[in-house]
Amino acid sequence: MSVKIYQMITDKVLELLEAGVIPWAKSWTGAEPQNVITGREYRGINAFLLGCTGATPYWLTFNQVKKAGGIVKKGAKSMPVIFWKWLEKEDQETGEKQSHPILRYYRVFNLHDVEGIEAPEVIKHEEGEKPVPLFQCAAIIANMPHPPALYHGSAKPFYRPCEDAVYMPDFENFISAEEYYSVAFHEFGHYA
């Protein structure tokens, strides 16, 4: 079981790298991945994996969606979340307590793929000077023929083909204007 989980995580990281995404590098700030129901932030490999995907930093299991009165959108894809802890058992022959690790995974959906549940407001981090828009770069986006819709406020940038839309973190959450436009042009490149 644990070998299967390790392989699943390795495959996901390789898939991101092959798609041109360096999952541990980002040039914007925003909320960390967390469970929308409990408010707990994901840690370790879960924060890493969930931070690589999704329109919002908010995630929940299918059962949490159902219990909260929401509906998972048709075609939505879930992500694995790893759970592990030490389990103490008493040896039946010797009576000694022994610790054994237990490793499981659950699947969670991004709140963007759920209807009927409202997202908490994304907290924006204030860090240093705000970037200043670059006129020439903004003009390229503004003058694109038949451009996809552009939405700001997401936890990470991505292009969603089924909506023909580019989602971006807010401009002021980038470390520089150059980084913003570099990421934006990359995402618009998926549309082309």
Q: What is the pLDDT of residue 125?
A: 45
- Is residue 39 left, alpha or beta, with left meaning phi > 0 and alpha meaning psi from -120 to 50? left
Q: Which two tokens stand for residue 146?
A: 């038949």
Q: What is the pLDDT of residue 134?
A: 83
CA dihedral 53, 111, 159, 153 (to 10 degrees): -100
Rg of the chain on CA atoms, in Å: 20
Q: What is the pLDDT of residue 141?
A: 86
Compute the distance between CA of residue 119 and CA of residue 191 in angstroms, rounded to an integer. 27
Beta-ladder partners of 35? 59
Query: What are the sequence ranges of the domains in the chain?
Result: 1-122, 124-192
Q: Which residues of the chain are under the pLDDT cut of 70?
A: 1-3, 20-31, 54-55, 121-131, 192
Compute the distance between CA of residue 68 and CA of residue 91 in angstroms, rounded to an integer. 41
Compute the distance between CA of residue 133 and CA of residue 101 in angstroms, rounded to an integer. 51
Q: What is the pLDDT of residue 129?
A: 58
